[in-house]
Each structure stands twice: as structure tokens, then as C-alpha cells.
Amino acid sequence: MTIGEICSSFNIAGRYINCSELSTGNINSTYLVRFEREGEEKNYIVQRINKSVFKQPEKVMENIVNVTHYVRKQIEEQGLSTQKFVLRAFANKTTGEPFFIDEMGDYWRCYRFIHNSITYDSCEDLGIIERVGSAFGKFQNYLDGFDANSLHITIPNFHNTVERYKVFHGAVKEDVRGRAKKVQAEIKKLFEFEELACKLQKHLDAGEIPLRVTHNDTKCNNVSFDKDTGEALAVLDLDTVMPGAIAHDFGDAIRFIANTTLEDDPNVEKVDLDIDKYEAFAKGFVSQLKNTLTDFERKTLNLGVFAMTVELAVRFLTDYIMGDVYFKTKYPGHNLDRARNQIALSQAIFDKMEVIDTIIKKYI
Ligand code: GN1
Ligand code: MG
């Protein structure tokens, strides 16, 4: 089935022109689609949901519809534009559901592309980084009253670092592809990090930090910006909105935005934690959440930075060892490069823990 045919199953007004595939995103397949309506070009995002990652795509979509509905109401109450500040999933013309199932059984969805918006895969502008922080902080505030129990757990134990390590240990032991023996240094390093990286989950299990509704994939390219004014618009990619710790969102965001290079740069000597970027994000994020965070939660934010970075290193290395079955890869060894990059970043975070602890105290 062509993307044009997929589009025709959604309630989009106008005439389909063409589409191009976007290569960002490690899970779903994403297309930017152009339509023409009354002489104007209108853009949409069409995505095939990865069924081996999201086993029940209809549950993912139900979460997204409920969450965006909840956020939209608050944006309306503030008198802000719902077209700019919140995602909208289109309904299937026939079923009314927010997805279309093709003849292969694959699930497709369609979002309005926010007019004149842009996302950043990396960012040097500290002002923008601060705005990414406040966008995710605001998102957290919007969802503060949302009933976490009403959400489907679309990927169980998504940020459960203890469980991620269990899978990793199993993969190393079984070594189905004979790859583990070639990456002994990386495995050893991750074993050394295990105890500290799992501490956040232990605090969650012990009920010492609240379980909240979190985004769980807070990369800076999941916030859209107005191309001209630089204003932060909507938070994107709501696939993994699930109960979690605020430290997961803070940590995952810092891991991505404050890396001195891209998360899959194979030149690990380029990897470091950029303290200025750390501070810019922390300032934006924490200033939104000052009145929300509990005392203990505040103390766990930097632990989250370490935990999320190590956890992703574990996930990438596990996937490499198991034969690249989860993340999309662009070349053989891509997951190994990603894992090495995140290991180097974990080390940098570990080494700079005192510095970032001092910085965050300024904002909380
Ligand atoms: C995946 O595909 P994307 O970029 O939205 C992954 C995240 C990782 C990220 C690393 C569902 O997100 O957990 O942090 O890659 N999403 C899922 O780039 O596993
Ligand atoms: Mg995602």
C-alpha cells in the first residue's frame, strides 16, 4: 500500500501531493506528507507503528488520545492555540479509531504537522535548550492531575533499570550471536555501573519517590519550535507516556541534549557532558516544577541522569549482543557504537556528579 493510499483512509481534507521518509527515530517509520488545500500546502506526519516494540498499538493510541485530550483542554482554558501546542491524531474515516490497519496487519497513524515548526536533533543554543527544559516541565505539570492508573503499560518495565540489567545479564550468558565475547570491556564497565544505576529504581520500589505520569522519551527533538520566533510549541512522540519517575524524564533529556556529540557518534573521545547545556536544561525544567517536586525527588534528579544514560547503554549493548533485534540500525555495529558512546557519557556524568549537584541546587 502506498503512503497516499494510507492517507486516504484518514479524514484529511485536500489533495495528496507526495511524501518523504524521515530518518530520525529508532523505532517507527515516519513520513512527512504534503497535501494541497485551496492553493496552500498542508503537511502531515504519517507513521507505521513498530509492532514488535509496541505489541498492542491500539493501546498506544488510546493513551495518546487520552493524554492529548487532557492537555488540549488545559491549553484551551489558557486561551492558547491547540493547533500549535498539542498533537492531534486523525481519525480513521471508516472506524473512527485513531489508526488504520493495512493488509499486512500493520498499524498506521496520522498527525497534523504543526505549521512552520522545526525540531532539533542537536542544539548549541542555550536559550533553546532552556525552552526544551521548560516545555517538558510544563508537560509534566499538565499531566499532574491525570490518572496514571488509566494508562496502558505499553512497554512493561520501560525504565526499570533493574529489569533492563536482568535482560542484559541473560543476553551475555546466552550470547546467541557470539558477540559478547568480543565486547568484554564494555560488559565489564556496565557491570561496574550496575549498583549505582539501579539505585533510582530501588527508591521507586521502596515508595520513596512518587510514580507520576511521565513522557519517558525526552530527547530534544521531541519538542517542536516555531521556525521564526523560536518559541517552544508542542511536546511530540507520546508513545511512551506511562507512569514513571520525574528523574527518568530529567535524566533522559540531559543524556541526549548535554552530550557534546550525537548519541551514536562512534568517536567516543568526542563524548562529554556539557555543563552549560546541563545547566540551561535544568534551569528550564526545574523552574516549572519547583512546586511539584518532593524533597527527595529533587535529590534523585542527577541520579536519574546517570541511571538513564547507563540504562540506554545497557539496552544498546543488549541489542547488539542479541543481533540487533530492537532498534533500527543504519550499519552493522551501529548499536555497539551507540553503546560505547553512552558508556563514555555515563563515565563523564559519574566524574562530574559533584559539579552538577552544585548547579542543580541553584534552581531548587
Ligand atoms: C528510541 O525512536 P525514538 O527516537 O523515539 C527509544 C528510546 C531511546 C531512543 C534512543 C520506544 O526512541 O527509549 O531512548 O530510541 N524508544 C523506544 O535514541 O524504545
Ligand atoms: Mg520515541
* DSSP line for 142-171: HTTTS-GGGS--SSTTTT-HHHHHHHHHHH
Report which ligand 1 atom has the smallest distance to the Cα of 328: 2
C-alpha cell at 65: 488520545
Closest CA to 344 of 309, 303, 304: 309
| C-beta of residue 233 within 8 angstroms of C-beta of residue 117 | yes
What is the structure's pLDDT at 57?
98
Q: Write down the number of H helices and E strands in the chain.
A: 12, 10
Return the percentage of the chain with pLDDT > 90, whole number.
Answer: 99
| 300-322 confidence digits (pLDDT tens) | 999 999 999 999 999 999 999 99
Report which ligand 1 atom has the smallest distance to the Cα of 53: 11
Q: Map grid coordinates 555515563 to a residue.
A: 346
**Does the CB atom of residue 286 touch ligand 1 within 6 A?**
no
Return the percentage of the chain with pLDDT > 70, whole number.
Answer: 100
Closest CA to 109 of 34, 44, 23: 44
What is the structure's pLDDT at 158?
98
What are the start-end ranges of the H helices in 225-333?
246-257, 275-289, 295-322
Residues sharing a CB contact under 8 Å with residue 66, sequence separation 6 or more, in sequence order = 146, 150, 151
The Cα–Cα gap between 39 and 206 comes to: 59
| C-beta of residue 339 within 8 angstroms of C-beta of residue 192 | no
**Amino acid symbol at 252:** D
Rounded distance from Cα 181 to ligand 2 centre (Å): 31
Alpha carbon distances (Å) from 125 to 173, 232, 253, 281, 309: 44, 13, 15, 11, 22
For atom 9 of ligand 1, the residue with the nearest CA is 26
| 159-177 confidence digits (pLDDT tens) | 999 999 999 999 999 999 9
**Does the CB atom of residue 60 touch ligand 1 within 6 A?**
no
Residues sharing a CB contact under 8 Å with residue 14, sequence separation 6 or more, in sequence order = 35, 36, 37, 38, 42
How do 100-101 and 212-214 pair as beta strands? unpaired
The Cα–Cα gap between 102 and 1 comes to: 7
Of all helices (H) and strands (E), which one includes residue 126?
A: helix 126-142
The pick from 26, 158, 254, 312 for probing ligand 1's pocket by mutation, whose C-beta has the most ligand atoms within 8 angstroms, reads 26
Asked if residue 60 has pLDDT above 90, the reply is: yes
| C-beta of residue 31 within 8 angstroms of C-beta of residue 47 | yes
| C-beta of residue 345 within 8 angstroms of C-beta of residue 309 | yes
The Cα–Cα gap between 317 and 331 comes to: 15
For atom 5 of ligand 1, the residue with the nearest CA is 25
Report which ligand 1 atom has the smallest distance to the Cα of 24: 4
What is the structure's pLDDT at 11?
87
Closest CA to 87 of 101, 102, 100, 75: 75
What is the structure's pLDDT at 349?
99
**Does the CB atom of residue 314 touch ligand 1 within 6 A?**
no
For residue 144, which phi and psi values (nearest 5 degrees)?
Answer: -55, -40
What is the structure's pLDDT at 352?
98
**DSSP letter string over 86-97?**
S--BPPBTTT-S
**Does the CB atom of residue 86 touch ligand 1 within 6 A?**
no
**Does the CB atom of residue 344 touch ligand 1 within 6 A?**
no
For atom 13 of ligand 1, the residue with the nearest CA is 217
The Cα–Cα gap between 177 and 171 comes to: 10
In a 3-state reduction of DSSP, which class is residue 218? Answer: coil
C-alpha cell at 119: 525540531
Helix, strand, coil percentages, rounded to 5, for the chain:
50, 15, 35
| C-beta of residue 234 within 8 angstroms of C-beta of residue 84 | yes
The Cα–Cα gap between 153 and 162 comes to: 17
Mean pLDDT to the nearest integer, 341-347: 99
What is the structure's pLDDT at 127?
97
> What's the pLDDT band for 153 if we cut at 50, 70, 90?
very high
| CA-based torsion, 262, 265, 267, 269: positive or negative | positive
> What's the pLDDT band for 364 if we cut at 50, 70, 90?
confident
Q: How confident is the prediction for the chain on average, in pLDDT? A: 97
| 231-279 confidence digits (pLDDT tens) | 999 999 999 999 999 999 999 999 999 999 999 999 999 999 999 999 9
